[in-house]
Chain A
């Protein structure tokens, strides 16, 4: 009896001193935080990387189009000017080289949205939401001097307010991004408002 009692007492004492359970509880509390951190790092870094790539290619495409001939810009809606086709091709090649899903976009996925603005869009190949939308406006213009105006994602020309028009090329790329982070962050009870697309806009003045 006494021996049994002592051993039971010892066991209770041991359990009371045991911290494995406490570790378990701590881990359960910390797990969502940890997952949020890991997924957050993963998700945000790939979003940043993608945005950086899109920024690069938008700038290059705008430069290529702006340096190209503008003779054929008032073209029919059934074909694109050589300079727009060059810019599209540059973006397309960049996507392939950097292994970015182009959402099944082809050189024929365009519509003419204003006299000199071509909009390519595609949302196939497993792309979420609106997929990939590329707008190339060869007749984008902005006032020479006035209060600051920045280009919008649809590359709509600016109001001139009587100023001289600086004619340029605007390239906008909108890429739908599937955030994994939003769902994970909701584990913590908050749902951050993340943008559903990454958008970049680039403007370069036309050379001719």
Chain B
């Protein structure tokens, strides 16, 4: 009996070790999963908010995104981390922001590196985990903690800010870039017709954003983020190929009855890829150029800053009445008719206050599944990326020409009209150098020009 009693102690100890410790390990892993999801969600909100388009916080909008518990990124990180349970209950979550070695719950006042490379830390704690056997000797209320750090990265001028001076620019390579290659001209600076005298979106030697800042209601009062303008192909709207509406390419073209605006910006059609993935059924089987608009072109690498890497293809004509651009975009953003009153079913953007709100339209596929029409949403098919090229590159009047991509625009497409003009609002601008200061290293790939990823905390 004494032996049994003694061995019972040993057996219970073993059971405690195995069951209770495994419970701890499982909870630790679940906490890590929650932390990862939270950190990524926070970084994603920062990415799409355009915060990195105002790297010095001149507009004073940062606190609305990451200024403590009321910031949208903080709230999203919290909500996402608490979506999964740790040991059957939602865990306790703390969100902080890091830049230049400083970590605090409020991102305003962080060093300037935050404007280029914001880091979101999420700490997940689950306390009072149940114990099954080790409570025999009074061990209860174990707790586990996991942390995760995610970054958003805007390559603009990162050689001088994000990496410290004398660093190198690490290029970015967003996925699903649309084949609309726009010149590096900001159509709202100035808002009159301009060619070589336009202000640039991004500085071609340092990669920095020229007019950084966030403007409301489509204007340009504070900076480039939030500017709304029309994008039109630099192609005469009839015929097979593309002959120029304006030579050289320009912003704010006037006097053309097929081009809306100003403000407007002309673009060149990009080379259609050999295959496109994720094509919605409304554009499947169509011309590859249209599929690249409605679907996701994963084969063309628009690589930031590499000399003459990308192809303008004038054998494409993106702009005949209700042509490839209109059809592909209608399919992508679920716009009903190009001639009806707008919006006609597609998602909309409320940019009259910051942060900008994306609102679900009546044709948003999720609206059919319980989301109510007009709900604010965090992701939309209307958000697309397009390459910015160095307008110093000459483009031949026919066939293909190679151009250098110096940056990317991320825009929200508000509508497309029957002449294939698109009304877009700038959400993000990313610049990298023109090849004089070649970007170094493997490009950071991502869904957005401001990619997000999990990193090991510095």
Contacts and interface: CB of A to CB of B under 8 A. Distances in A.
Interface of A: 30, 37, 41, 44-45, 48, 51-52, 55-56, 59, 62-63, 67-76, 79, 81-83, 114-117, 139, 141-146, 148-151, 157, 160, 163-168, 201-208
B411 to A, nearest CB: 13
A201 B84 contact: yes
Contacts of A207: 44, 379, 446-448, 452
Q: Say whether chain B's binding surface is mostly helix, strand, loop, or mixed.
A: mixed
Contacts of A63: 40
A167 B281 contact: no
Contacts of B277: 69, 82
B278 interface: yes
Interface of B: 4, 11, 15, 18-19, 22, 25-26, 29-30, 33, 36-37, 40-41, 44, 72, 75-76, 78-80, 82-85, 90, 175-176, 277-281, 294-296, 332, 334, 357, 360, 365-366, 368-372, 375-379, 381, 383, 446-448, 452
A83 to B, nearest CB: 7
A51 B26 contact: yes
A100 B84 CA distance: 24
Contact of B365 (A69, A139, A146, A203): A139
Nearest to B298: A69
Given A145-B79, A205-B80, A208-B448, A73 B296 contact: no
A167 B377 contact: yes
Nearest to A117: B369
Nearest to A55: B29
Contacts of B30: 55
A72 B365 contact: no
A114 B22 CA distance: 36
A69 B18 contact: no
Contact of A166 (B29, B76, B279, B280): B76
Given A114-B369, A165-B378, A202 B33 contact: yes
17 contacts: A48-B22, A55-B30, A55-B33, A69-B447, A71-B278, A71-B332, A117-B369, A146-B79, A157-B370, A164-B357, A164-B375, A165-B375, A166-B41, A203-B80, A204-B37, A204-B41, A207-B452
